[in-house]
């Protein structure tokens, strides 16, 4: 088993526990991006807990901020803050609220939650890093429902116009949003061709296949001619049988039974 697969198993356990304990929403979107985040933090991102503000670090932005539980659990497992904090998820006065928050937490670059802003901030960071001639990359994880926002497409155009070759967008294409299937709300397809026509290099990959994800990220990091997008085909609610590819997974927390099953499956 690869290091990122081992991390993903731990994250699944932590995230399901956090959501169950807090009776929090967004289970489906957390589980769809968990493998992507594991591969990024274990194999790709140059971000170290002992140098969280290093000027050469990669900048990771979770634009789909409602799935902050996954990044909080990742940072705790990577040693950015004590794991005991995960038990306070979503509680009053907790440092780790339901949406990702950079206040008082090393390792989080940007507070998000209002969808449609991560890429705009990311292109600003990328342009500034280019001026400073660093080798750092800016990696932004977006959701597919988020691609309904106009601000995202403005940032897509801006990045290619300014030839930002240090930016990688990652789309968690789980095909379901809060109230319906993305296809029925505003159909995004053919999504890859759209990004391509806006001047981006496009990769499409199975968002749960660690080997393929790693290969694609490494290729994207090497590609220095234009901005890159990796469209990840994922399953909303991946790993909880009654939630997989189901709308209910967006708002329903994992039940006690589901949580117990996950803990037993991956003991």
Ligand X SMILES: Cc1ncc(C[n+]2csc(CCOP(=O)(O)OP(=O)(O)O)c2C)c(N)n1
Point out which residues bind ligand X (CB under 6 A).
Answer: 26, 28-29, 32, 64, 66-67, 113-116, 143-146, 172, 174, 176-178, 236
**Smallest distance from the beta carbon of 38 to ligand X, in angstroms?**
16
How would you classify the pairing of strands 59-62 and 167-173?
unpaired
Which of 182, 183, 186, 220 has the alpha carbon at shortest distance from 200?
A: 220
Residue 49 to residue 18: CA distance in whole angstroms: 22
Q: Give the CA count within 13 Å in the CB-facing half-sphere of 190.
A: 7
Q: Which is nearer to ligand X, 97 or 221 (CB)?
A: 97
Q: Which is nearer to ligand X, 57 or 254 (CB)?
A: 254
Tokens of 26: 């967004």
Q: Which is nearer to ligand X, 26 or 238 (CB)?
A: 26
Q: Which is nearer to ligand X, 12 or 66 (CB)?
A: 66
Q: What is the DSSP letter of 181?
A: B
**Smallest distance from the beta carbon of 169 to ligand X, in angstroms?**
14
Residue 187 to residue 199: CA distance in whole angstroms: 20
**Smallest distance from the beta carbon of 142 to ligand X, in angstroms?**
8
Residue 112 to residue 65: CA distance in whole angstroms: 5
**Smallest distance from the beta carbon of 148 to ligand X, in angstroms?**
8
* Residue whose token pair is 């220095």: 224
Contact by Cβ (8 Å): 67, 37: no
**Smallest distance from the beta carbon of 48 to ligand X, in angstroms?**
28
Q: Which is nearer to ligand X, 36 or 138 (CB)?
A: 36
Contact by Cβ (8 Å): 80, 52: yes
Q: What secondary structure does DSSP assign to 187-214, as a single string?
A: ---SHHHHHHHTT-EEEEEETT-HHHHH
Q: Which is nearer to ligand X, 98 or 227 (CB)?
A: 98
**Smallest distance from the beta carbon of 36 to ligand X, in angstroms?**
11
Task: Return the residue nearest ligand X (CB atom).
Answer: 29
């Amino acid at each position: 088993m690869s290091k990122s697969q081992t991390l993903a198993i731990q994250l699944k356990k932590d995230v399901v526990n956090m959501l169950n304990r807090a009776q929090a929403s967004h289970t489906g979107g957390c589980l769809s991006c968990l493998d992507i985040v594991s591969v990024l933090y274990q194999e790709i991102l140059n971000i170290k807990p002992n140098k969280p503000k290093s000027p050469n670090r990669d900048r990771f932005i979770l634009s789909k901020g409602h799935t902050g539980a996954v990044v909080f659990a990742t940072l705790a497992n990577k040693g950015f803050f004590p794991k005991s904090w995960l038990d306070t998820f979503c509680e009053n006065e907790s440092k780790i609220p339901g949406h990702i928050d950079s206040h008082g937490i090393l390792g989080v670059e940007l507070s998000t939650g209002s969808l449609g802003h991560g890429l705009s901030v990311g292109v600003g960071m990328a342009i500034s890093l280019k001026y400073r001639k660093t080798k750092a990359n800016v990696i932004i994880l977006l959701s597919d429902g988020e691609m309904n926002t106009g601000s995202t497409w403005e940032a897509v155009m801006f990045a290619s116009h300014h030839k930002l070759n240090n930016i990688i967008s990652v789309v968690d294409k789980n095909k379901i949003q809060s109230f319906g299937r993305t296809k029925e709300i505003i159909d995004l397809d053919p999504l890859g061709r759209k990004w391509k026509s806006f001047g981006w290099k496009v990769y499409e990959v199975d968002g749960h296949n660690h080997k393929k994800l790693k290969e694609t990220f490494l290729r994207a990091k090497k590609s220095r001619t234009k901005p890159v997008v990796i469209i990840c085909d994922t399953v909303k609610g991946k790993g909880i049988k009654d939630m997989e590819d189901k709308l209910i997974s967006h708002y329903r927390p994992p039940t006690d039974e589901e949580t117990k099953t996950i803990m037993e499956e991956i003991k």
